[in-house]
RNA sequence: GGGCUCGUAGUGAAGUUGGCCUAUCACGCCUCCCUGUCACGGAGGAGAUCGCCGGUUCGAAUCCGGUCGGGCCCGCCA
């Protein structure tokens, strides 16, 4: 007897076949029992008549999620018995024999997509049951298709796939490492790579020219809804003898556009992808990963209000701050309590309050209007292009704070007014990130993003940077790709010149010896004819999340850790035997 | 490390201005009935010390303090 799949039964009318699967539901009519059997392709109805004695008495004992093997005849249903809601609803299988392959206890979580869904904690604890839900099955199959497209594209572009070590070195910059002790090296540790950064650059020195890998990356940092704890995946790539244009325009954009349209079935807001310098993105959108599906840009009104007598604005401007505003279309419909809610959000981001002017029936309503002159009110309305129904919200503080507050509000208002069309995708490149940034904690200048990218202007600019102010104006040839408000890829033209490398660290006061100690392999490699190279890495879990219309990245991963970095199914991390510790020459402090 | 928020039968929810709660409903579970259902139907039943500890009170699921756990965010994520 050939075993066939549930959805395939429909092509085997009048044949005796066998199907296997789980009991999706059982309907016992006393003298007639229906069993819906589910496999990974779908559901098919089994009819058990009393004439099939053994099968019938067995069917009376069957419960949900039992695993069955059934043989029977595929029979077309009478016209009035067909079920249009079921893919196999025109047929049913009249059972001859039933074998219970395994029983099941009543389930702690719902296996069906309709009805109530259990909370995430339980779903993760019983992930193997959660995965039985059709939507989870669909997600994992789609993810497999997604990987195929990635590999096919990279292959078409003549990239070579190389796997790099998982046991690697701890790196002094960046995220916190997972350390791995070894029995044969007491007192020393490997580290799991945060990214294959150094290996891929060494592959360029090795002459591979175009490398890629679907790389597992490990970071011991707190997770977020769009960021997994522990391990996650990047499509990592690196190319020699190219500039940023070739990486961005010729390699990365065509791939992401293919994914968005052909795979994701979504519409690109624009066929060309804007390049926005970091500082401009912060000033216009209040974010280095702006959602560009909607406008609502931040407008600077500091000049227009330079002579205002309104105390709050006046004082801030006098102390070097700014007054900026966003116009919310339809904002006048917001109730007082809704505005209070947005005010709370603004305060949480560091604002003192949230001033606004609403425009209704040709008039402006505002708690602050009485402090502003008629001409000031006029210029605000004109500059903000405000008309009836709109509300203009103000932020006034240090530039960075205002950008942060209004950037957050911009996103919140867009959510509230439904401006984030799930069928559309807006892409952008954020470029020219600051090479160095001010570290408020340490009260000193430090690397902004990563020390491996090329500072624009090279050694010359570095040498000339003799003050903190000058250092902070240097930008890196680095590019982040942004999709609907998510950072989905990051890359850079690398610094392949040992002297520029020494200088980049030298600006921060690090000695040549320090650099050699930390990046010895890279530096010595660069001394043997390193080609100029550039590359990037896509956060492929996150891209898949966006394309799947999910807002939580754990929904698109088979076995994720929870928000505390714990695998509640496997109970990891866990304690280990004293013997294991001793073998590793380790001791745990009490 | 910090902020906000949630925690009530196996599951999902209601109740939370203290008393009418001996805690309600739905799904699931158990027993019985039922030959055309497909979220089958009908009758009956079991199942919760309201996350935990303490306090206020004549009286606490409800108020207060602490604690544990989940979620979101800030920090962090070269």
Distance separating alpha carbons of residues A554 and A124, to the nearest angstrom: 9
User: What pLDDT was estimated at residue A353?
Assistant: 87
What is the average pLDDT across A146-156?
98
User: What pLDDT was estimated at residue A128?
Assistant: 96
User: What pLDDT was estimated at residue A229?
Assistant: 96
The residues spanned by each domain of chain A are 6-102, 118-276+534-590, 294-419
Token look-up 């309590």 returns A337
User: What pLDDT was estimated at residue A351?
Assistant: 87
**Least reliable range by pLDDT among A152-156, A170-174, A506-510:** A170-174
Distance separating alpha carbons of residues A198 and A202, to the nearest angstrom: 6
- The answer to whether the CB of A321 falls within 8 A of the CB of A402 is yes
For A225-237, the pLDDT digits (tens) are 999 999 999 999 9
Q: Which nt has its C1' nearest the CA of A478?
A: B78
Distance separating alpha carbons of residues A268 and A270, to the nearest angstrom: 5
As a rounded value in angstroms, the CA-to-C1' distance for A563 and B66 is 24
As a rounded value in angstroms, the CA-to-C1' distance for A344 and B17 is 25
Show which positions of strand B are touched by protein (CB under 7 A): 1, 3, 10-13, 26-30, 33-41, 69-78
Q: Residue A172 carries which DSSP code?
A: S
What is the average pLDDT across A321-350?
90
For A62-85, the pLDDT digits (tens) are 999 999 999 999 999 999 999 999
Q: Which nt has its C1' nearest the CA of A197?
A: B78
Nucleotide B75: nearest residue by CA–C1'?
A222
Q: Please state, for a pLDDT cut of 90, what percent of chain A lies above it.
A: 83
Superfamily of domain A6-102: Nucleic acid-binding proteins (2.40.50.140)
Q: Residue A282: pLDDT band by 50, 70, 90 thresholds?
A: very high
- Token pair for residue A376? 């000031």
- Token pair for residue A442? 């340490």
Helix axes A134-156, A540-547, angle to 10 degrees: 120
Q: Which nt has its C1' nearest the CA of A109?
A: B11
As a rounded value in angstroms, the CA-to-C1' distance for A110 and B27 is 10
Token look-up 């009485």 returns A370
Task: Identify the residue with better confidence: A162 or A344.
Answer: A162
Superfamily of domain A118-276+534-590: Bira Bifunctional Protein; Domain 2 (3.30.930.10)
Per-residue pLDDT for A590 more than 70? Answer: no
Q: Residue A113: pLDDT band by 50, 70, 90 thresholds?
A: confident
Contact partners, residue A68, CB within 8 Å, separation at least 6: A20, A21, A22, A23, A35, A37, A62, A98, A99, A100, A101
Q: Which nt has its C1' nearest the CA of A83?
A: B38
As a rounded value in angstroms, the CA-to-C1' distance for A121 and B60 is 29
What CATH number is given for A294-419 in this structure?
3.30.1360.30
Task: Classify burial at A475, counting beta carbons within 10 Å of its beta carbon; exposed 0-12, middle 13-18, buried 19 or more.
Answer: buried
As a rounded value in angstroms, the CA-to-C1' distance for A32 and B9 is 33
Q: Residue A352: pLDDT band by 50, 70, 90 thresholds?
A: confident
As a rounded value in angstroms, the CA-to-C1' distance for A230 and B48 is 37
User: What pLDDT was estimated at residue A268?
Assistant: 97
Per-residue pLDDT for A115 more than 70? Answer: no
Q: Which nt has its C1' nearest the CA of A350?
A: B74
Give the helix/strand (H/E) hosting A18.
strand A16-28
**Domains A6-102 and A294-419 are alike in CATH topology:** no
User: What pLDDT was estimated at residue A325?
Assistant: 96
For A236-280, the pLDDT digits (tens) are 999 999 999 999 999 999 999 999 999 999 999 999 999 999 999
- DSSP secondary structure of A507-563: TTT--HHHHHHHSHHHHHHHTTTPPPEEEEEEEHHHHHHHHTT-S-GGGGSSS---T
Distance separating alpha carbons of residues A18 and A26, to the nearest angstrom: 18
Nucleotide B6: nearest residue by CA–C1'?
A119
Per-residue pLDDT for A172 more than 80? Answer: no
As a rounded value in angstroms, the CA-to-C1' distance for A567 and B77 is 20
Distance separating alpha carbons of residues A219 and A237, to the nearest angstrom: 19
């Amino acid at each position: 007897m050939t075993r066939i799949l549930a959805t395939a039964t429909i092509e085997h009318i009048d044949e005796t076949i066998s199907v296997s699967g789980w009991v999706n539901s059982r309907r016992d009519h006393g003298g007639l029992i229906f069993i819906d059997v589910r496999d990974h392709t779908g559901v098919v109805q089994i009819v058990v008549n009393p004439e099939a004695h053994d099968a019938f008495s067995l069917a009376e004992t069957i419960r949900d999620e039992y695993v069955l093997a059934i043989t029977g005849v595929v029979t077309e249903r009478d016209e009035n018995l067909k079920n249009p809601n079921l893919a196999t609803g025109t047929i049913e299988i009249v059972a001859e024999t039933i074998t219970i392959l395994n029983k099941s206890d009543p389930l702690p979580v719902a296996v069906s997509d309709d009805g109530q869904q259990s909370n995430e904690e339980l779903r993760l604890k019983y992930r193997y049951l959660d995965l039985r839900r059709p939507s989870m099955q669909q997600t994992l199959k789609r993810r497999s298709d997604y990987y195929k497209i990635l590999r096919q594209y990279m292959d078409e572009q003549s990239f070579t796939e190389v796997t790099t070590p998982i046991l690697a070195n701890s790196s002094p910059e960046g995220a916190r490492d997972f350390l791995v002790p070894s029995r044969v090296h007491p007192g020393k540790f490997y580290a799991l790579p945060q990214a294959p950064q150094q290996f891929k650059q060494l592959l360029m020195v090795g002459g591979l020219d175009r490398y890629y890998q679907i790389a597992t990356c490990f970071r011991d940092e707190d997770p977020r809804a769009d960021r997994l704890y522990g391990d996650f995946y990047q499509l990592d790539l690196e190319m020699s003898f190219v500039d940023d244009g070739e990486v961005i325009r010729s390699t990365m954009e065509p791939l992401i556009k293919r994914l968005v349209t052909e795979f994701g079935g979504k519409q690109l807001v624009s066929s060309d992808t804007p390049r926005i310098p970091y500082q401009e993105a912060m000033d216009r959108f209040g974010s280095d990963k702006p959602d560009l599906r909607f406008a609502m840009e931040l407008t600077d009104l500091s000049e227009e209000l330079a002579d205002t007598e309104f105390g709050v604005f006046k004082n801030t401007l006098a102390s070097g701050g700014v007054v900026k505003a966003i116009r919310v279309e339809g904002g006048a419909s917001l109730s007082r309590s809704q505005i209070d809610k947005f005010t709370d959000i603004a305060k949480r981001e560091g604002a003192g309050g949230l001033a606004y002017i609403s425009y209704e029936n040709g008039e402006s309503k505002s708690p602050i209007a009485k402090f502003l002159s008629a001409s000031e009110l006029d210029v605000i309305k004109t500059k903000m292009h405000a008309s009836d129904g709109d509300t203009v919200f103000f932020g006034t503080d240090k530039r960075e704070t205002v950008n942060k507050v209004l950037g957050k509000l911009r996103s919140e208002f867009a959510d509230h007014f439904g401006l984030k069309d799930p069928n559309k995708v807006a892409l952008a490149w954020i470029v020219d990130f600051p090479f160095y940034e001010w570290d408020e904690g340490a009260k000193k200048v430090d690397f902004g993003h990563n020390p491996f990218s090329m500072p624009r202007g090279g050694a010359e600019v570095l040498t000339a940077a003799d003050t903190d102010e000058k250092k902070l104006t240097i930008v890196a040839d680095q590019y982040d790709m942004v999709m609907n408000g998510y950072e989905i890829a990051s890359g850079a033209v690398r610094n392949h010149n040992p002297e520029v490398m020494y200088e980049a660290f030298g600006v921060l006061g690090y000695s040549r010896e320090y650099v050699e100690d930390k990046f010895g392999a890279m530096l010595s490699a660069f001394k043997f004819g390193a080609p100029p190279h550039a590359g990037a890495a896509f956060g492929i879990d996150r891209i898949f999340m966006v394309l799947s219309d999910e807002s939580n990245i754990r929904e698109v991963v088979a076995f994720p850790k929870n928000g505390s970095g714990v695998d509640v199914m496997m109970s990891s991390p866990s304690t280990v035997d004293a013997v294991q510790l001793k073998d590793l020459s380790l001791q745990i402090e009490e």
